[in-house]
Structure 1
Amino acid sequence: MTLLLLTVFAGLLIIKAPIAVALGLSAGVTIFVHGLPLSVLMQRAVNSIDSSPLLAVPMFILAAGLLTATGVTRYMFDLVRMVVGRVRGGMAHVNVLLSLVFAGMSGAALADIGAMGAMQVREMEAQGYSRRFAAGVSIAAATIGPIFPPSIPLIIFATAAEVSGVKLLLAGIVPALMITAMLMGYIALVAKRQNLPRDTVSPSLQAFGRLALISLPAMLTPVLLIGGLLSGIFGPTEAAGITVAYAIFIGLAVYRSLTWQALLETTRETVLATANILFVVAAAAIFAWVLTMDQIPDKAGVWLLGISDDPLVLLLILNVILLIAGMFMESIAAILIIAPIVTPALIQAGAPPEQIGVVMVLNLMIGLLTPPVGMSLYMMSIAAKMSFAEVLRGVMPFFLPLFIALALVTFFPGLSAWLPNYLME
């Protein structure tokens, strides 16, 4: 059964069928050939999206879109420039820090690139940086978004692996800060070696205070989100709804730049993005059901534990699997398929679920930077009007700090698990 499933799936990918179509159609063909009831297709698809935690996904997408529509990202960009812009390589540091700030609003790498990629490349090029280097910094820094809360991939992982969504979101805080530090450390080394330019901005206390005051309401969004999660006032789904309400409030009442037309357009884009994600979720659920019917999760668990019962060894094996999968598969589909298969064995071996989630998501975010799929590469290529090859050459040096960060979260479970366990014990 599994052989037929994977053969049809691979064939559909080769002819460049959309990932959701490849998942659903290969599962459908397998179910039909083996005489299983076709009603399973609809039943599993509907059940997979009938999930309260998944409600957070469209709301976080909407919240990020609303905040972007207010135009506040420009103010935040100028504010961060005043803080670190004057150091050598300052604009590259600004790029990374702005991605961290925006991560607390978007929760998705592609949203980060789509909202700020073109602006970041344009501003860095104006300061004397090469377009290649600017694009590389921008898409490498975008990996922070899916790690720092609110993280859409971590919410998907929590749903697929049936673990605490709140703990998964909190688990991303320390690794995201570490990735930020790694990227900025690497930029500092490159800046010294290549004599990168300093920013031409002329900071003043008055201008800084003005920008800080303007940016404060938007920058309070992650504070509201994380504070609510820590206090137990609400969970991920409720947090998403409150974030949307807050974004609408500051857009209409504080910034007064969110028009009804922009609100409708953002809602339309959210519906389209959510439909794409949930299509993948529903198709992956059918695909995973066929694997479950063939006892693949149990067999995989036995195989993994037969290799070793050391969680570190199993995590290293998982890294290899995910890095390969990330080169060919869309990240959400990979999470939905792989997480239910490997997570039980890893937890049984002693790996914290928070660490497993962060390792999986970081691997797949690195996969967004690798061909042939490499959606971040394609997104930046479109946003900055650069060739795919030029964007790829720009990001290749940044694999070093990203792989160091991946090694650290793999070897040291406390980086992911300590904070959520300490705050929620």
Structure 2
Amino acid sequence: MTIAVLFGSLALLVIVGVPIGIALGAASVLTIFTLPFLDLKFFALGLVSGLNSYTLLAVVLFTLAGNLMSQGGISDRLLCVAKAFFGNMPGGLGTVTIVACLFFAAISGTGSATVAAIGLAMIPAMCAHGYDRAYAGAMVASAGGLGVMIPPSVVMIVYAVTAGVSVTSMFIAGILPGVLVALILIAFNVFQSRRRDFGFVAVDSSWSAKWDALRRAKLALLMPALVLGGIYSGLVTPTESAAIAAVYGLVLSVFVYKELPLSRVPKVMLESALLVSAVLVIVGASVAFGRIMALEQVPATIAEFSLGLTDNKLLILLMINLLLLVVGTFLETLAAIVILTPILLPVVVKLGVDPVHFGIVMIVNLAIGFVTPPLGANLFMAAQVGNIRFEALSRAIVPWVAVMILALLVITFIPSIALWLV
């Protein structure tokens, strides 16, 4: 009865359009009313303890850093580097676009910011050189998913907090899978560019041009090395590193590049606060939701049921991948992480799957959800910045989703891709 109230009310609230954070909290409160041994103090304590996390400060600060740098001239300089080094490679501007998304992902930590920053510049440029507009938008939307796969990633931090694993380990584990996804996307673009005869634009790739691009972007390219190097060396924690990133982004955008007026900084901070507040509501409400599941032994029951069906690790991982791909089409990524991690992690741990590897598998799955309708946050962003009809973009994204699923299967069944550096 308790489980029916908990999940039934959550599903009903989500269906009628209630924001997921509010739906989680409301479902928890309704369930508490059905349990005589609990009262609303249980929900309040869960909400407070869920947000009282030093690690979660990194989510706030990385979001602010990404917003500051996305509006401070960073993307243009990264694009120049990508063009100088990759502009004359097979795939032309498409390859440049994916590489630029990879660069920007190492700064922004979010998918939608990557799509906005790179898409605004590259979708019109690709269309001017013969690329189909919907194809260009689908490419940017797909490559924008690298924003959550490449560290520093806000989603990785939330998974680490939820699963009780090291943020540093998650960041290290995300490097090779993110690069692998980028290489597979580049290979698909090269194939499509040759098959569809998209226009090729000659780019000055002389060493002087490369050196000039690196000189102009050296401070922007230094940020990932500064942030991630501090974490991996043990000199700073991820939260301290996020603070460094925010200050560095502010100084670079306002005082060095001078492309973000100081008068606009409060607006950027307000936008970041509004974005993060939605995330923190989800995280806080999910703690009470998770504690009710734990009291009712939902994770243990699901683990026993799943292992009763089969103890074949590959088959269970396939089933979980299918579940996550479906969930990603209608549930926001962070909400899926905080709801499903306590349920699925005990299942895979009993099968000997490393929690860090499973976290990467979850994140890649849900990154695919960024580009699958009807939710598809990256699709909506690409449609907006590229002036593309959503229906046309939804059709163009299908082969890109198939390619990303191929990358997902490789990452799922070859754990060393995620764990080798760890």
Pairwise same-fold verdict (TM > 0.5): yes
Q: Is the 8 A contact 1:85 1:93 kept in 2?
A: yes
Could you say if the C-alpha distance between residues 373 and 211 of structure 1 is closer, same or farther in structure 2, counting changes exceeding 3 Å?
same
- Rounded Cα–Cα distance in structure 2 between residues aligned with 1:239 and 1:276: 23
* Structure 2 residue 70 is the aligned partner of structure 1 residue 68: yes
| Match of residue 369, structure 1, among 371, 378, 399 | 371
Report how far residue 152 of structure 1 moved.
Answer: 0.9
Cα deviation 1:312-342 (Å, max 9, x = unaligned): 3332221111111111111101100111122
Deviations 1:47-67 (A, max 9, x none): 101111111001111111111
Q: Secondary structure at the match of 1:141?
A: helix
Select 1:214's aligned residue among 210, 213, 216: 216
Q: Which moved more, 1:223-232 or 1:131-140?
A: 223-232
AA in 2 matched with 1:17 = V
Structure 2: distance between partners of 1:303 and 1:184: 41
Residues 1:5 and 2:20 are matched in the alignment: no
Task: Provide the rounded CA distance (Å) in 1 between the counterparts of 2:253 and 2:181.
Answer: 30
Aligned to 1:399: 401
In structure 2, what is the equivalent of residue 423 of structure 1? none
Partners of 1:32 and 1:259 in 2: how far apart? 51
Q: In the alignment, is the contact (CA less than 8 A) between 2:65 and 2:108 conserved in 1?
A: yes
Other-structure match for 1:328: 330
Deviation at 1:80, TM superposition (A): 1.1
Instruction: Please say if residues 97 and 118 of structure 2, whose CA atoms lie closer than 8 Å, have aligned partners that are also in contact.
Output: no
Deviation at 1:204, TM superposition (A): 4.5
Shift of 1:19: 1.4
Q: Deviations over 1:49-90 (max 9, x none)?
A: 111111100111111111122212112212211222234431
Q: Which moved more, 1:386-395 or 1:194-203?
A: 194-203
User: CA RMSD, aligned part only?
Assistant: 1.6
TM-score (norm 2): 0.95
In structure 2, how many angstroms separate the alpha carbons of the residues matched to 1:87 and 1:104?
Answer: 22
1:16 aligns with 2:20: no
Asked if 1:106 corresponds to 2:108, the answer is yes
Give the stretch that moved more between structures: 180-189 or 24-33.
24-33
Instruction: Please name the residue that 2:182 is paired with.
Output: 180
C-alpha separation in 2, matches of 1:219 and 1:109: 19
> What letter corresponds to residue 62 of structure 1 in structure 2?
L
Taking the TM superposition and a 5 Å limit, the aligned residue runs for 1:154-173 are 154-173=156-175
| Deviation, structure 1 residue 25 | 1.2
- Aligned residue for 2:328, secondary structure, equals helix
Q: Give per-residue Cα distances to partners, 1:171-199, cap 9 Å, x unaligned.
A: 00000010011001111111221122112
Aligned to 2:136: 134
- Residue type matched to 1:194 in 2? R
Mean alpha-carbon deviation: is it higher for 173-182 or for 299-308? 299-308
Give deviations 1:187-226, integer Å, cap 9, x for gaps. 1111221122112434444443222111111111111122
Matched-pair contact (CA < 8 Å) for 1:89–1:197: no
> 1:118 offset after TM fit, Å?
2.5
Residue correspondence of structure 1 range 288-327 to structure 2 within 5 A = 288-327=290-329
Give 1:342's aligned residue. 344
> How many aligned positions are there?
420
Alpha-carbon offset, residue 287 of structure 1 = 2.0
Partner of 1:47: 49
For structure 2, the 5+ residue unaligned runs are none
> Does the CA contact (< 8 Å) of 1:179 and 1:405 recur in 2?
yes
CA distance in 2, matches of 1:221, 1:198: 32
Cα distance in 2, alignment partners of residues 412 and 206 from structure 1 = 41
Residue type at the aligned position of 1:335: I
Equivalent residue for 1:414, pick from 413, 416, 420:
416
